[in-house]
Amino acid sequence: MTKIIDIEQRLKLEQKKKVKIDREKKLEVVRKFMQCKRCMARCAMCGVQFDTKELYKRHPGPHRLCTACEEDYKEFQAITETGGDSPLYWHNREWLVLWQAWLDYQKAIKDYTESPEFIELLREVGWH
């Protein structure tokens, strides 16, 4: 009789493990979006890490970009607003498509993180 396993206890233990694993998966999703994809310590375009004095500087526009990417972005904006050509030969049609795709990606991330379901996930895992 000492070898009899209490099924109720075993089921409760398995359920607790499952809840813990589910919570860890949810936390990982939130962490990736809040710390990685929207990282405030890195350039949103190229990923270069800001040095400490740049980290707390106000950045113009909706994206935190390093100096090089900021200049590139301004050139992209000027070209798309005026419809003109860049004096730089590598600012070709594919370059324009690249920047537009990146902007679309940034909007998609923003839309997802502001969706009611993602906000519910934040509440569920206690992310403040």
Query: What is the average per-residue pLDDT within 8-29?
Result: 82
Which of 12-26, 43-57, 86-100 tops mean pLDDT?
86-100
| Torsion from C-alpha of 91, 93, 99, 104, nearest 10 degrees | 170
The pLDDT tens digits of the residues spanning 63-117 come to 889 889 999 999 999 999 998 888 889 999 999 999 999 999 999 988 988 999 9
Which has more pLDDT, 12 or 76? 76
Residue 78: predicted pLDDT: 93
User: CB atoms < 10 A from the CB of 23, how many?
Assistant: 13
Residue 76: predicted pLDDT: 95
**Which uninterrupted H or E stretch holds 7?**
helix 7-31
Residue 27: predicted pLDDT: 80
Domain segments of the chain as ranges: 7-125
Give bridge partners of residue 42 from the DSSP assignment: 49
Model confidence at 1, pLDDT cuts 50, 70, 90, reads low
Residue 3: predicted pLDDT: 67
Query: What is the average per-residue pLDDT within 28-52?
Result: 81
Q: What is the mean pLDDT of the chain?
A: 84
